[in-house]
Amino acid sequence: MSSAHPRPIFCTSIQGSNPHASFWCSGNDLYVVNGELVADAPCASFTTIFRLLIMNLIPIGEVSAQINCGAPLPWNVRDTEGKLLLARGYLVETMEMQLNLLRRGVFVDADEVRASQEPSPILFGRTQRPVLPFAAQWDAVEKRLTGLLANHRDAQFLSGIRDVESMITVASEEHPDQTIYSVIRHDQERFAAYGITHSIHVACVCSILAERLGWSKKNRETVINAALTMNVSIIGLQGELARSEGAPTRQQRQLIHVHPAESVRMLQDAGVTDEDWLQAVEQHHESPNGGGYPYGTRHKLSELSQMIRFADIFTAKYSARKNRAAMPSRQAAQSVYLASDGHPIASALLKEFGIYPPGCFVLLKSGETAVTIRRGNTPTAPLVAVVRDKNGLPIKEPLLRETVLPQYAILRTLPNQSTQYDTAIERLFTLTAE
C-alpha cells in the first residue's frame, strides 16, 4: 500500500556524529529529514547511507597541520561516501604525498581527529609489570612523540612532551637493559621515521648517562625534554635524508645548519620558557673547539647540550642510512670517546655502550651466534641469547647462555643482523627480570 507521505526508515541522534540526523524514504528515494536529497536507491546502498549517518566527515584541509612528511597518519582518510582510502598509521613518506592528500579533496572523521588528540596514558608503570609488552609500549611512545612534534602549536604540546619524558625516564630506570636493547636493535630500514626514532634514542641514551653520572632529577628531565625536541624543525627532512642515496642539496644543508636556532624559535612559540631546555637545544651541535654550528660557539657551552651532542653523534653512527651501513654500537661508542679528548660524558657513554651492550651480536667460544640481552656483573660477561647454532643455522627458540662460563665466553662482536627472535627475546627479558 502506497503512502502519500514519506515514511521514516531510520531515525536517530548519534552523539559525536551527525546530530539529529534521520532518513526518510518515499518510494525508491532516500531523503535527509531537512529535505535535502541524499541519493536515489539504485545509486546508493543502505550501507553508504548508514556510513554517512554515523560519521562526521570534515575536509582534510581543516587538519592539514597534523599531516607531516616522515610521520604516520593519525587518523583514517576517507572519500565523500566515507569509504576508507588510507588507514591510520599509513606513512606519509614524501612532501609530494603530503601535498597530494591535500589536493585530492578527501575527508576525515572529526571524532577520530578528537580521539587522536587525547593524551595517552603513562606507560612503563613503576608499581607493577607493564600490562602491554615492552615493544608495544615502545611503539606507543614513538606514536605519541610523532603526533606531538607534528603539532608544536597544540595546547597539549608541553604536557605531552613531559609525558614522553616520564615514559623514557621510567623505562630507563626500571628496564635499562631492555631500553638499550630496543635502542640498539631498532629497525634500520624505517628510514622515513628516522627523525622520530633518532630523537627517542638520543633521549634514552641521555637518560641512562644522566643516571650513571648522578645528575639531579631536574637536569635529567631537562636533558630528555631537549633531546626529544632538538630537531622539531627538521623532523621530516631527517627522514628524507636517511632514505636518500645522494648528498644533501644546498637548501637542505642550510636547513640543517640553522635547525638548532629554528627549533628554539618553534619551542618558544610552543610556550617553552625553560632557559636550560632552550640552551641545550640551541647548543646541541656546538663544540668546545669552535667547529660546531650554528654559531661556532666554543665557550659557556652547557653540560646538557654536550650530553646531547655526544648521544646524538653516537646514535647517528650506529644508525644505517640508505647510502651507508650502520656502524656497530661498540665501535660507535669508542669513536665518540676517542674524539672527545677524554670528556667525562663520553667516558660514561663508552662504559654503558662500548663493550657488549644489550642488542649487540657476538660469537661465542661454542661457535654459536648470540645477542646480548642483559649486562653481567663484569662488562665482558653479559647474559646472551643464542639465535644461531655453531653451523650458522637459525635455532627454533633462543637459548640463554651465561658468558661468564668458559665454554660460552665471547670471542668477538659481529655485525648487526636481522632476526625473527625479537618477540621471543622479549619473553626472556621477562623471565630473567630481577
User: What does the pLDDT look like over 357-375, one tens digit per residue?
Assistant: 999 999 999 999 999 999 9
Judge whether residue 13 has pLDDT over 50. no
Task: Work out the average pLDDT over 295-314.
Answer: 96
| Greatest C-alpha distance within the chain | 94
Other C-beta atoms lying within 10 Å of the C-beta of residue 88: 16
pLDDT for res 132: 59
Q: Are strands 84-86 and 29-32 parallel, antiparallel or unpaired?
A: unpaired
On average, the pLDDT of the chain sits at 82
- Grid coordinates belonging to 146: 610523532
In terms of Cα–Cα distance, which of 362, 363, 373, 419 is closest to 181? 373
CB 373 within 8 A of CB 181: yes
Rounded CA separation 55/359 (Å): 45
pLDDT for res 104: 79
pLDDT for res 177: 93
Task: Work out the average pLDDT over 203-222.
Answer: 97
- Grid coordinates belonging to 374: 642483559
Q: pLDDT band at 34, cuts 50/70/90? A: very low
Residues 6+ apart with CB under 8 A from 180: 204, 208, 352, 353, 357, 358, 359
Radius of gyration of the chain (CA): 26
Q: pLDDT band at 295, cuts 50/70/90? A: very high
Q: Which residue has the higher pLDDT, 135 or 258?
A: 258
Phi first, then psi, for residue 361 (nearest 5°) are -85, 140
Rounded CA separation 303/299 (Å): 11
Chain mean position to CA 140: 8
Judge whether residue 328 has pLDDT over 90. no
pLDDT in tens, 166-183: 999 999 998 899 999 999
In terms of Cα–Cα distance, which of 337, 336, 371 is closest to 356? 371
**Residue 409: strand, helix, or coil:** coil
**Residue 361: strand, helix, or coil:** strand
Task: Return the CATH class of domain 134-353.
Answer: mainly alpha
User: DSSP state, 396?
Assistant: E
Task: Work out the average pLDDT over 404-420.
Answer: 87
In terms of Cα–Cα distance, which of 118, 115, 120, 114 is closest to 62? 114
**Residue 198: strand, helix, or coil:** helix
For residue 414, what are the CA distances in angstroms to 257, 315, 335, 368?
35, 18, 17, 11
Give domain limits for the chain: 7-54, 57-116, 134-353, 361-431
User: DSSP state, 119?
Assistant: P
